[in-house]
C-alpha cells in the first residue's frame, strides 16, 4: 500500500509517502519524507508565524510527496490508469499548536476528498513511539518520548498506551530551548547545548523526579541563574544535560522494572542527543535489556512516522469520516484505542 502522511504540529511542514505492508519493517518498504522547517527569526516558536509557515509550505511538501507517490504508482504493476496514487491520507491530529493543526487537517481532508480515499487521524506522540517499535521489531517495548513539547514514558497494556510517567510542567526540549533563549542562542537550542557540553564540567543543579514523573522548570531556572552569576556556559550546559538525561534514564529504568519489559525505544527530537542515547544504552545494557533509537530523520518531527502509523491504522480499518476528523491540540496518547495491535493481550 502507498500512504500519504502529513505532519505540522509545530515547526515541521512535512509530507511523506510510506510504501509497504505496514506490519513490521521489511527490506521492501520505503519512506519518502519532504520537510520544510520553520525557523523563528528570534525567540522560540510563535504560534501565528508557525501557522503562516504551515499555510505556505504544507501545500508544497504535499505536492512533492504526491509526485513521488505517482512515480511509485507508475512502477507498480497492480496500479491501473485512474487509480489514486495513494490508498489513504493520514495526518497529525494532535497534540500540537491549534492554528498549525487546523491547516494540516484541512490539507488532509481536501487531498482525501480529491482522490476519494479514506482519511486516518494519527496521534503525534503515539507516532513518535510506533516508528521505533516498527523499525526495531520489538514486541512490546517501553517507550521514552523525549520531544520539544512533551516528555512521556509509555507502556502498552490492554489496548492502550498507558502513560507511566510524564513531565509535571514543561516539555524536555522546551526547557532546554528556554535556557538557550535566555543566553541569546537561536532556536532550536538542543544541538547547541549538546555541542557546548562537550567542553564542560559538572556543577550543581536541581534533579527532580517524583515517583514516575519529572519536572524540568526548576532546573531550567537554576541553569539561567548559574549563567547569570557567571558560571562557564559549557559547565552549565554539561550539568543541564547530565541531570535532565539522568532523570529521564532513571524513570525509563523504573518503567522497565515495573512492566517486566526488556525492550526500550526512544522517540522525539531530543532523542537526537548522543549523550541521552549513551545513558539509555548503558542503562539497558546493565539490566540485559535491548535499546533502539531510530535514525534522526524519524526522531525529530516528520511525516514519515505519521505515514507508517497511518498505514497500520488503515490496515486495521481505523479510518475517520470527514465530519469526525476535527483536530485535538491536547490529544493524549492514552486516549487512543490501539486498533492495530488488537489480539495482543498485554
Q: Which residues bind ligand ATP (CB under 6 A)?
A: 9-11, 96, 124, 147-150, 171, 173-174, 176-177, 188-191, 194, 268-270, 272-273, 300-301
Q: Which is nearer to ligand ATP, 216 or 291 (CB)?
A: 216
Q: Which is nearer to ligand ATP, 174 or 261 (CB)?
A: 174
Q: How far is the CB of 317 from ligand ATP (least distance, A)?
A: 27
User: Residue 106: which residues within 8 A CB-CB, separation 6 or more?
Assistant: none
Q: Which is nearer to ligand ATP, 146 or 284 (CB)?
A: 146
128 touches 305 (CB < 8 A): yes
Phi, psi at residue 309, to the nearest 5°? -70, -40
User: Residue 206: which residues within 8 A CB-CB, separation 6 or more?
Assistant: 218, 219, 222, 243
Write down how long the chain is. Answer: 346
Q: How far is the CB of 147 from ligand ATP (least distance, A)?
A: 3
Q: How far is the CB of 74 from ligand ATP (least distance, A)?
A: 33
35 touches 303 (CB < 8 A): yes
Q: How far is the CB of 306 from ligand ATP (least distance, A)?
A: 11
Closest to 144 in 3D by CA, of 7, 254, 5, 23? 254
Q: How far is the CB of 241 from ligand ATP (least distance, A)?
A: 8
Q: How far is the CB of 220 from ligand ATP (least distance, A)?
A: 12
Q: Which is nearer to ligand ATP, 94 or 118 (CB)?
A: 94
Which letter does DSSP use for residue 110 in this model?
Answer: H
Q: Which is nearer to ligand ATP, 69 or 299 (CB)?
A: 299
Q: How far is the CB of 118 from ligand ATP (least distance, A)?
A: 25
333 alpha-carbon distance from chain centroid: 12
Closest to 107 in 3D by CA, of 139, 157, 66, 161? 66
Q: Which is nearer to ligand ATP, 174 or 259 (CB)?
A: 174
Q: How far is the CB of 151 from ligand ATP (least distance, A)?
A: 8
Q: Which is nearer to ligand ATP, 193 or 283 (CB)?
A: 193
Q: Which three cell numbers stand for residue 139?
A: 514486541
Measured CA to CA, the distance from residue 170 to residue 346 in angstroms comes to 31
Closest to 14 in 3D by CA, of 70, 96, 81? 96
Q: Which is nearer to ligand ATP, 7 or 318 (CB)?
A: 7
Q: Which is nearer to ligand ATP, 36 or 301 (CB)?
A: 301
Q: How far is the CB of 138 from ligand ATP (least distance, A)?
A: 20
Strand (E) or helix (H) holding 34: strand 30-37
For 19-27, the CB contacts below 8 A with 24+ separation are 19/72, 20/311, 21/315, 22/308, 22/311, 22/312, 22/314, 22/315, 23/312, 23/315, 24/134, 24/137, 25/134, 25/135, 25/137
User: Residue 188: which residues within 8 A CB-CB, separation 6 or more?
Assistant: 148, 173, 177, 180, 269
Amino acid at each position: 500500500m502507498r500512504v500519504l502522511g502529513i505532519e505540522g504540529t509545530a515547526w515541521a511542514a512535512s509530507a511523506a509517502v510510506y510504501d509497504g505492508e505496514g506490519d513490521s519493517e521489511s527490506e521492501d518498504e520505503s519512506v519518502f519524507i519532504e520537510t520544510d522547517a520553520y525557523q523563528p527569526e528570534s525567540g522560540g516558536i510563535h504560534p501565528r508565524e508557525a501557522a503562516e509557515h504551515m499555510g505556505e509550505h504544507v501545500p508544497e511538501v504535499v505536492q512533492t510527496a504526491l509526485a513521488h507517490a505517482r512515480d511509485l504508482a507508475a512502477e507498480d504493476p497492480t496500479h491501473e490508469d485512474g487509480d489514486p496514487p495513494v490508498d489513504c491520507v493520514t495526518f497529525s491530529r494532535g497534540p500540537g499548536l491549534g492554528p498549525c493543526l487546523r491547516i494540516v487537517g484541512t490539507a488532509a481532508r481536501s487531498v482525501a476528498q480529491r482522490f476519494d480515499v479514506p482519511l486516518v487521524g494519527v496521534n503525534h506522540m503515539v507516532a513518535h513511539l510506533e516508528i521505533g517499535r516498527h523499525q526495531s521489531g520489538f514486541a512490546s517495548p517501553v517507550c521514552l518520548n523525549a520531544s520539544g513539547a512533551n516528555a512521556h514514558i509509555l507502556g502498552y497494556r490492554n489496548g492502550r498506551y498507558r502513560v507511566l510517567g510524564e513531565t509535571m510542567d514543561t516539555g524536555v526540549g522546551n526547557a532546554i530551548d528556554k535556557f538557550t533563549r535566555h543566553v541569546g542562542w537561536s532556536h532550536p537550542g538542543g544541538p547547541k547545548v549538546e555541542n557546548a557540553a562537550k567542553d564542560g564540567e559538572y556543577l550543581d543543579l536541581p534533579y527532580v523526579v517524583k515517583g514516575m514523573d519529572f519536572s524540568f522548570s526548576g532546573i531550567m531556572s537554576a541553569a539561567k541563574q548559574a549563567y547569570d552569576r557567571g558560571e562557564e556556559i559549557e559547565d552549565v550546559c554539561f550539568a543541564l544535560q547530565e541531570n535532565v538525561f539522568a532523570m529521564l534514564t532513571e524513570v525509563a529504568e523504573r518503567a522497565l522494572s515495573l512492566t517486566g519489559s526488556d525492550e526500550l525505544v526512544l522517540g522525539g527530537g531530543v532523542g537526537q542527543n548522543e549523550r541521552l542515547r549513551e545513558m539509555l544504552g548503558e542503562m539497558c545494557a546493565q539490566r540485559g535489556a535491548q535499546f533502539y533509537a531510530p535514525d534522526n530523520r524519524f526522531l525529530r518531527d516528520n511525516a514519515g512516522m505519521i505515514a507508517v502509523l497511518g498505514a497500520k491504522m488503515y490496515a486495521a480499518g481505523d479510518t475517520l469520516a470527514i465530519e469526525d476528523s476535527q483536530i485535538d491540540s491536547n490529544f493524549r496518547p492514552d486516549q487512543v484505542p490501539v486498533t492495530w495491535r488488537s489480539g495482543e493481550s498485554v
